[in-house]
Amino acid sequence: MNLNLELMLPEGFLLISALLMMVIDLVISDRQKNSFFSNLSIVVIAITMLLTSGTVSMESNLAFNGFIRKDLMVVLSQLLLLISGIFAVLLSHNYIEKFSLKYKGEYYYTLLFALLGGMLLVAANEFSTLFVSLEVMSISVYILVALFKDDYRGKEAALKYFIMGSVGAAILVYGFAILYGLTGVTTYDGVSELVNKNGVTLALLFSIALVAVAFLFKTGAVPFHAWVPDVYHGAPTPVTAFMGAVVKVASFVAFLRLFFPVFVSFAKNWTPAIELVAVVTMFAGALLALNQNNLKRMLAYSAVSHTGVILAAFVTVPALASFVVLFYLFVYVFVTLAAFGMLSLLTTKGLKGESAEDWGGLYKKSPFLALSAVVIFMSLAGIPPFAGFWAKFYLLTALLREGFITLALAVVLSSLMSLYFYLNHLSMPS
Amino acid sequence: MNEVFFYLFAGLSVAFAAVAVTAKNIIRGGVALLGSFVALGAVYFTAGAEFVGIVQVIVYGGAIVVLYLFALMTMDLKKMKEDPFRAGSVAIGSFLSLAVIVLLITGGLTVGGEVEPQISGATEIAMPLFYKFLLPFEIVSVLLLVATIGAVAIGRRDS
C-alpha cells in the first residue's frame, strides 16, 4: 500500500488545525472570539498555503493508493482556493462585528472544513473520494449560510441550497454507480482504461450525462441555475463571496479533471451538449441580470453568465481547456471576491444597502469606493485594461484556434449584453 | 439441517411481515416488523453470511424499528385507526409487489449458477474499507463531524 502521506501534509495540517480550533472554542471568552479566530484562521490558511507550495512539482504524484493525484494544476487551484479563503475570513471579521452571530468559533472552523473539502475535491482521483469531499465542502457551506442569528433570509437560502444540492449529489452518485457497474473500478485511471477498451455505449453516455448534470448543478449552469440567485442573495455577504469563489473553483476544477483525463477519448460525444449548455447559460444569465434591482441578485446572475463562458472553454479539450479554465477562474475569483467584498464593506459600514437606488451618489460619500466599483464592474464585463478582459481574451483565442467561431461570437455578444447591466448600476442618479 | 432452518426462518419472516402490514394496532405492527427483521437476520446466518446477519439485527432490528416506534409514539394514533385497505392503495400496492416478484423470479432464473460465498464475512468488508478505501472513509468521518456541529449550531433553540 502506497500512502505517500507527505503529499497530504497541507490537508492534514488544515484538518488538525480546524479540529484544534474546536477545542480552543470551548475555553476562550465570547468577547475575544471574533478577532482571535479570524487571526488564527488567517495564520492557519497561510501556513497551509506554504505547505501546499512545498508540494508543487511538474510531474503528477499519487497518494493513498492513487486516490489522490497532485500535479501542477491541482496545486495551483488549491492555492487559489486558500487565497479565496483568506479573503473570505477578512470579510467575515467586520461582518460578524456588525451582525450578531452566536457561533463565532463554529463559523471559522466550518469555513476551514469547507476549504479542506475543496482542496480534497480538486485533488480527488477516484469517485468515492470525489463524492465525499464534495459533500464536506457543500455541507460546510450550507451551515455557513444558515449560521447567523435571526437571519431568516439566510436560513431559507440554506434550506433551498441544501435540498437542491442533495438532489445534485444524488444524481452524481447515480452516475458513478452506473460507471462502476460498467467498469468495476472507481479510480480515474482504471475507469479511463476500461472505458477506452470497451468503447462508447448508451449506458456509458447516460452515466456521463448524469455526472455532468451534477457538476452543472454545482457550478450553477442553466437549466440547473434556479438556486443561484436565491442562495447568493440570501446568504450573508462574506459567505456569498466564499461560495462564489471557493465552491465555483473547486467544482470547475473537479469537473475538468474528471472529464479531461477520463472521458477525453470520446470528447466529440459530449462536447456538443456542453457547448449548448454554455451558450444557453451565458445568454440566460445576462438576460436575467438585466432587470435585477438587488445588487446581490444581479451579481448572482452575472455569475451564472460567467459559468456559461467558462463552460465554453471546456469544448477545447484536450488542447487548451485546462490552461484557459484555470486562468479564467484565477481572474474570476479575485473579481468576484472584490465585488462581494465591496458589498459587504458597504453594508457593514452602513454606507449603502443592496438595492440599486442606494447606490446613487456613492461618489460623493466615498470617491475611492465608487472608483473601485467602476474597476470591478468593468473587469467583470471584460473591458480591455482590466484582468477580466485578459481572461476572456485567452478564452476567445483558444476558441478561435480550435475553430469554434460561433461559440466565440456568443461569448462576445453575452459580454456586451452584460455590459449594459453593469453600467446601468454604475449610472444610478443620486 | 441448515436448510430446514433456512426455510423455517424465511417463512417466519414472511409471516411476521404479513402481520406487520395487516395489524390494526400500529404498535403491534411495529413489533411484528421487528420480528420479521430478526428472522431475516437468522436467514442470513443460515446462508453463511454472519456479518450481514449481525448488521441486519443491529441496524434494522435495533435502530430502525426503534426509530419507527419513536416516530409512531409522537403521532396521534387515534386518527390512524381508519381502515387502511382502500381500493386505490391496495391496487397500487399489489401491482408494485407483483412487479417486484416477477422481476425477482425472472432474475433468479436467468442469473442462476453458483454464487461466490466469500463476500459476506467481516474480513471481506473490513479489508476494502480500512485498506483500499481508507481516505474516503476518513473523509466521511470529517463529514459526519461537520454535519453534527452544523445540526447542533443551527437547530439549538436560543435561550
CA B64 to chain centre: 8
The answer to whether A214 and A116 are in contact (CB under 8 A) is no
Closest CB to A146: pick one of B136, B149, B154: B154
Domain ranges in chain B are 1-81, 121-159
| Cα separation, A168 vs A236, whole angstroms | 23
Predicted ipTM of the assembly: 0.90
Domain ranges in chain A are 5-426
Q: What is the pLDDT of residues A273-291, one digit of tens each?
A: 999 999 999 999 999 998 8
The answer to whether B52 and B122 are in contact (CB under 8 A) is no
Q: What stretches of A28-71 show up as alpha helix (H) in DSSP?
A: 30-54
Name the residue in chain B with its Cα closest to that of A104.
B153
Q: What is the pLDDT of residues A134-184, one digit of tens each?
A: 999 999 999 999 998 778 888 999 999 999 999 999 999 999 999 998 888
Under DSSP, the state recorded for A110 is H
Q: Which of A166, A126, A113 is nearest to B142 (CA)?
A: A113
Closest CB to B153: pick one of A128, A133, A147: A147
pLDDT value at position A90?
94
Numbered residues of chain A with Cβ closer than 8 Å to any chain B Cβ: 1, 15, 22, 64-65, 67-68, 102-103, 106, 110, 113, 116, 120, 126, 128-129, 131-133, 135-136, 139-140, 142-143, 146-147, 149, 155, 158
Mean pLDDT of chain A: 90
Q: What is the pLDDT of residues B91-139, one digit of tens each?
A: 898 999 999 999 988 887 877 666 666 666 778 788 888 888 999 999 9
Name which of B127, B134, B139 to mutate to probe chain A: the one with the most chain A Cβ atoms within 10 A of its Cβ: B139
Q: What is the pLDDT of residues A200-214, one digit of tens each?
A: 889 999 999 999 999
Q: Which of A306, A315, A329 is nearest to A381 (CA)?
A: A306
Verify whether the Cβ–Cβ distance B135 to A64 is below 8 Å. yes
Name which of B146, B157, B158, B159 to mutate to probe chain A: the one with the most chain A Cβ atoms within 10 A of its Cβ: B146
Name the residue in chain A with its Cα closest to that of B147.
A139
**Cα dist from B45 to A422, B37, B51, whole Å:** 68, 13, 8
CATH for B1-81 is: 1.20.120.1200
Verify whether the Cβ–Cβ distance A139 to B142 is below 8 Å. no
Interface size, chain A vs chain B, as Cβ–Cβ contacts under 8 Å? 59
Q: What is the pLDDT of residues A286-341, one digit of tens each?
A: 999 988 888 899 999 999 999 999 999 888 877 677 889 999 999 999 999 999 99
Verify whether the Cβ–Cβ distance A132 to B158 is below 8 Å. no
- Residues of A within 8 A of B153 (CB-CB) are 103, 106, 143, 147
CA A246 to chain centre: 4
Q: What is the pLDDT of residues A39-52, one digit of tens each?
A: 999 999 999 999 99
Residue A249 CA neighbour count, 13 Å, CB half: 35
Name which of B129, B130, B137, B149 to mutate to probe chain A: the one with the most chain A Cβ atoms within 10 A of its Cβ: B149
- Looking at A37-51, A288-302, A404-418, B76-90, which range is the least confident one? B76-90
Residue A62 sits at φ, ψ, to 5 deg, of -110, 145
Closest CB to B153: pick one of A132, A133, A143: A143
Residue A7 has pLDDT above 60, yes or no: yes
pLDDT value at position A177?
94
Cα four-point dihedral sign B98, B103, B109, B113: negative
